[in-house]
Amino acid sequence: MSQKKSNSYTAEFKEAAVKLAVESDQPIAQSARELGVNVNTLHTWIDKFHGKQTSDSSSAVDDKHLYEELKQLRRENARLKEERELLKKAAAFFAKESN
């Protein structure tokens, strides 16, 4: 059996390949063929590159925003439950009055 040769690419090459694949109008598969890289490898590089960019700066902000929104929604939910209970009691009271 033959051993597959594992290619190692520099970080600069990977970054340039991702930039070319994302910014060009041609399909990613075609860009991969032109670069001599497996299509799945290029997709992996793209995912890692874009994941690194978005998660570094925005994840902390998004998490804080989501936490604040969750707190606000829980307060609103508690208020609405109280209002519902009050309306149930009022409806029961007025039902007794009309009989």
pLDDT tens, residue by residue, 6-55 = 678 899 999 999 988 888 888 889 989 999 999 999 999 999 988 766 55
* CA angle 50–52–54, rounded 5-degree value: 70
- Measured on CA atoms in the order 46, 49, 54, 60, is the torsion positive or negative? positive
What span, in angstroms and rounded, lies between the C-alpha atoms of 94 and 99?
9
Instruction: Spell out the domain ranges in the chain.
Output: 11-98
Q: Give helix 28-35 / helix 39-98 axis angle, nearest 10°.
A: 150
Whole-prediction pTM: 0.48
CATH code matching the domain that covers 11-98, chosen among 1.10.10, 1.10.238, 3.40.50, 1.20.1070: 1.10.10
Q: What is the CA radius of gyration of the chain?
A: 29
The residue behind tokens 């970080």 is: 11
Q: How confident is the model at residue 5 (pLDDT cuts 50, 70, 90)?
A: low
CA distances (Å), origin 84, targets 1, 27, 72, 90, 91: 73, 56, 18, 10, 10
| 50-77 pLDDT, tens digit each | 876 655 555 666 777 888 888 999 999 9
